[in-house]
Structure 1
Amino acid sequence: MELRHLRYFIAVAEEQHFTRAAERLHMAQPPLSQAIRQLESELGVELLHRSTRSVRLTAAGEAYLDRARDVLHELGDAAEHARRVAAGTVGHLVIGCVGSATYSLLPQLSHGLARELPGVDFAFRGEMLVPDQIAALRGGDIDIALLRPPVADLGLVVEPIRQDRLVVALPESHALASAARVRVKQLVDCDMIIHSADRRSMMYDVALRLLRGAGIEPHIRHEVGETSTLVTLVAGGLGVAIVPEPVSALRLEGVVYRPLVNPTETVPLAVAHRADRDEPHLARAVGVIHELT
């Protein structure tokens, strides 16, 4: 049995006439009649009652017509789905974001991805540290990461997106909160709240390098893993924090953000995925992320 036999049978059943069915199929009548006979022989049942004027379905033919239509419909759907997969317009992706990207980029990103790739189901995980993102990428728990390099894993593709400036988060009651800009040297007597060294946050090294470059040996009051916790502690007056500028999108009562005067460095943001992942919908999502950032 071939698919053409199903198409032939459906045409004859709908036209109830071999000549009209042959014209519809753009073929001669004898081969059509022969093909239907072959189909009946293979099935071992009579599908059609034939007369000199018309054709009508047997009970078996009625049942077979419904299933034949279903088969061709499913094949059409399968072909369309395959084309959409090849075009990268369907699929499922989980995106993991570092803390600063969670607040500044995730709202815009989720909206933009849904608009550009409506057939792709996206899920998001926020407040992830880079080591956790790398482990999640390797384990397949997330498909794409928005992270802060450096990344030493050669099994990942890491593509730079942008460079973010650094700002200082201050309690609104702090003496420096009224300044338009803050010099790093002005933080000399401040209690510092920083991202945790134990959880291998790259911002730990960035903050210490910046402070020590200004001749300050920092007094670290709290180390935290999550950016939201860090900003909450600042808002509570427990210290100040050096953070990437996008963190300022996280607005809490009691905290203000001030730019640093001539900071010595910026922090990169990159999009990463496993090097062995080449699905079209993943590639398209990475492209949209580049466009949106």
Structure 2
Amino acid sequence: MNLRHLTYFVTVAEERHFGRAADRLHMAQSPLSQAIRQLEAELGVELLHRTTRRVDLTEAGRAYLARARAILSDLDEAAHEARRVEAGAVGHLAIGCVGSATYSLLPALSRRLAAELPGVDFAFRGEMLAPDQVEAVRTGAIDIALLRPPVADLSLTVTPLRDDRLVVALPGDHPLVRRKQVRVADLGSTDLIVHSADRRSVMYDVVLGLLRDAGVDPRIRHEVGETSTLITLVAGGLGAAVVPEPVTALALDGVAYRPLVRPAATVALAVAHRSDRDEPHLNRAVDVIRGMF
């Protein structure tokens, strides 16, 4: 018995005629009849009752037809599923986002991924610092990271996406709000809120580097892990913060954003995944992300 025998039997059962079934199968009637008899011999039951005018199903044949159709349908579905997997159209992916990307990019990204890869189940984790994302990608807790380089882990493939300008988030009543732009040197007399040094935030190193190069002795009053918390503290009047421009999507009452100049500075955004991962759906998702920039 083989799959051809099942196909032959189902076709004869549907046509109730060997001649029409042979035409439909593009084969001669004699080998078709022989194949059905071989199937019956292997099963040890009569599936078809033959007359000179037509072919009818026996009780055993009707039962066997239902199972044969289900088997052939399952095989077709399995082939279709395999092709979808090969094309990257199905699967599950978890994506981690750095704080600023969570607010500015994630809404549009989730819609784009759902439109272009509707068969892939996506999960998102926001407000992740770069070191946490690198560890999560390395261990498989997330599959793709939108993070701030540099990334020292050589097991990851890191692709730059864009450079984001830095801006200053100020309490609404801060004296610097009256200016159209803020110099780095202007922050020397201002209390600052920064991302956590203990959690090895990339932004902590970027901001401290800018202040150091400008000869500013920073007055750091608070260190936080999440960008949303940082901006909330700014809104509460507890200090100013240097953040990537996409954070301006967090338009909280009591917060004003001003461009940072002299020097103007940027921070990179990149997409990362494990270099040994080459699943089609992961590659397609990375392509969608890259295509948005």
Please indicate, yes or no, whether the TM-score normalized by the shorter chain is above 0.5.
yes
Q: Secondary structure at the match of 2:122?
A: strand
- d(CA) in 1 for partners of 2:149 and 2:194? 18
Alignment partner, residue 31 of structure 1: 31
Alignment partner, residue 276 of structure 1: 276
- d(CA) in 2 for partners of 1:160 and 1:262? 25
Alignment partner, residue 169 of structure 2: 169
1:139-195 deviations in Å (ceiling 9; x for gaps): 111110000011111110000001111100000010111211011111111111000
User: Once the 2 structures are TM-superposed, how far is the Cα of residue 22 of structure 1 from its aligned partner?
Assistant: 1.1
Question: 1:256–1:159: structure 2 CA closer, same or farther, 3 Å change rule?
Answer: same
Q: Pairwise mapping of residues 52-201 of structure 1 onto structure 2 (< 5 A)?
A: 52-201=52-201
- d(CA) in 2 for partners of 1:31 and 1:104? 67
User: Once the 2 structures are TM-superposed, how far is the Cα of residue 263 of structure 1 from its aligned partner?
Assistant: 2.9
User: Once the 2 structures are TM-superposed, how far is the Cα of residue 264 of structure 1 from its aligned partner?
Assistant: 4.8
Alpha-carbon RMSD: 1.0
User: Once the 2 structures are TM-superposed, how far is the Cα of residue 81 of structure 1 from its aligned partner?
Assistant: 1.3
Letter in 2 for 1:287: D
1:50-70 deviations in Å (ceiling 9; x for gaps): 122211111111011111111
Alignment partner, residue 216 of structure 1: 216
Moved over 6 A (4+): none
Task: Answer yes or no: is the 8 Å Cα contact 1:166–1:263 preserved in 2.
Answer: no
Does residue 8 (structure 1) correspond to residue 8 (structure 2)? The answer is yes
User: Once the 2 structures are TM-superposed, how far is the Cα of residue 265 of structure 1 from its aligned partner?
Assistant: 3.1
- d(CA) in 1 for partners of 2:59 and 2:160? 66
User: Once the 2 structures are TM-superposed, how far is the Cα of residue 135 of structure 1 from its aligned partner?
Assistant: 1.2
State the TM-score, normalized to the length of structure 2. Answer: 0.98
Q: Secondary structure at the match of 1:188?
A: helix
- d(CA) in 1 for partners of 2:104 and 2:262? 23
User: Once the 2 structures are TM-superposed, how far is the Cα of residue 88 of structure 1 from its aligned partner?
Assistant: 1.4
Which range moves more in the overlay, 223-232 or 264-273? 264-273
Q: Secondary structure at the match of 2:182?
A: coil
- d(CA) in 2 for partners of 1:82 and 1:238? 56
Aligned residues: 293
Which range moves more in the overlay, 275-284 or 44-53? 44-53
Task: Answer yes or no: is the 8 Å Cα contact 1:89–1:119 preserved in 2.
Answer: yes
User: Once the 2 structures are TM-superposed, how far is the Cα of residue 262 of structure 1 from its aligned partner?
Assistant: 3.2
Unaligned segments of structure 2, at least 5 residues: none
Letter in 1 for 2:182: V
State the TM-score, normalized to the length of structure 1. Answer: 0.98
- d(CA) in 2 for partners of 1:164 and 1:259? 12
- d(CA) in 2 for partners of 1:107 and 1:26? 53
Task: Answer yes or no: is the 8 Å Cα contact 2:165–2:264 preserved in 1.
Answer: no
1:15-43 deviations in Å (ceiling 9; x for gaps): 11111211111111111111011111111
- d(CA) in 1 for partners of 2:198 and 2:272? 23
- d(CA) in 2 for partners of 1:237 and 1:47? 85
Task: Answer yes or no: is the 8 Å Cα contact 1:90–1:121 preserved in 2.
Answer: yes
Letter in 1 for 2:144: I
- d(CA) in 2 for partners of 1:262 and 1:110? 36
Question: 1:263–1:67: structure 2 CA closer, same or farther, 3 Å change rule?
Answer: farther
Unaligned segments of structure 1, at least 5 residues: none
Alignment partner, residue 229 of structure 2: 229
Letter in 2 for 1:260: L
